[in-house]
Amino acid sequence: MMAVEDVLDSPRGGETSATTLDVDRPDATAYTALATELRDRVDGDVKFDEYAQVLYATDGSIYQARPAGVVLPRDADDVRATVETAANHGVPVLPRGTGSSLGGQTVGRGCVVIDFTKYMDDIVDIDPQARRATVQPGCVQDHLDAALADHGLKFAPDPASSNRSTVGGGIGNNSTGAHSVRYGITDAYTEELEVILADGSLIHTREVVLDSDEYDSILAQDDLEANIYRTVRALVENHESEIENKYPSLKRSVSGYNLQKVIYENDDGDAEYRENRVRERPRQRHGRSPGESRFGGRTGSTETLRCRCGPMSVQYRFWYK
């Protein structure tokens, strides 16, 4: 293991050096109370030392920014405690998988990084008949695909980093892959999420039909979840024309509020976005080893799979009648 001084003194290509990391070095004394409270409330690992800051200051991109500290939660209660505590101290949180992102999505100055990969990486359940899996956010995608192979299934998105990237990170990044033009991207295969909101409350996101009993029961609550539903609906209804006419035509939306994904059902009850969400793998092609399909699974017709995950990123889908 390298000493902290060795890491700081080792260049990371180009002009990157200790000087770069020193520029945004957090004031450790400013986070003493935060670190103490997190250690009291979290069963997982809490790290606010310089070595952890340097390790989590980088990802697969060229960007570098030191966090205030790192939490490795053991369960959803740890995630809730981390979010609540950080919010009380006015410090942002940054969920992170393995840091394979290329756009700096998993680095942030003065934040609390929540790393799901050490403890929250399990495959909770696989239902081959329903073609659904429930996983924790730190589950590596190739590990999920390996568990699905005997059932002739795989998770459809196939990013180049799938041997190390996590399902939760893929949801947060709306990951794609070489075959996404045909098979779709992550949001098309994400069915449900358990999400910790900014106030520490845990919610269950899924498809909700407006003005249904389920929708009305959510709005009857006096909490942040109900306020989100009201706000999103008001935004869509008040700015429908702008959303339809001015949102760029993108095959993949990564950041911001995906209001263009709020779908109005047709008169016959169909929604274009819902069509062909689960597809069949292509059959074996020439030039490949016996028993190897195009996606590295079993020879023959192999179907894709939809996934459930929690707690990680939020995506809301409303269905208008």
Q: Per-residue confidence at 3, pLDDT binned at 50, 70, 90?
A: very low
In CATH, what number does 4-115 get? Answer: 3.30.43.10
Q: Whole-prediction pTM value? A: 0.74
pLDDT digits (tens, 9 = 90+) for 108-166: 999 999 999 999 999 999 999 999 999 999 999 999 999 999 899 988 888 888 888 99
Residues carrying CATH 3.30.43.10, the chain: 4-115
Quick check: 206 and 309 in contact, CB under 8 A?
no
Per-residue pLDDT averaged across 185-205, rounded? 90
* CATH of region 123-320, choose from 3.30.830.10, 1.10.3720.10, 3.30.465.10, 3.40.50.10860: 3.30.465.10
Beta-strand pair 202-205/93-96 = unpaired
What is the predicted pLDDT for the residue at 282? 33
Q: What is the mean pLDDT of the chain?
A: 76
Higher pLDDT, 246 or 121: 121
Residue 180 pLDDT exceeds 90? no
CATH 3.30.465.10 segments of the chain: 123-320
The strand pairing partners of 303, in sequence order, are 153, 280
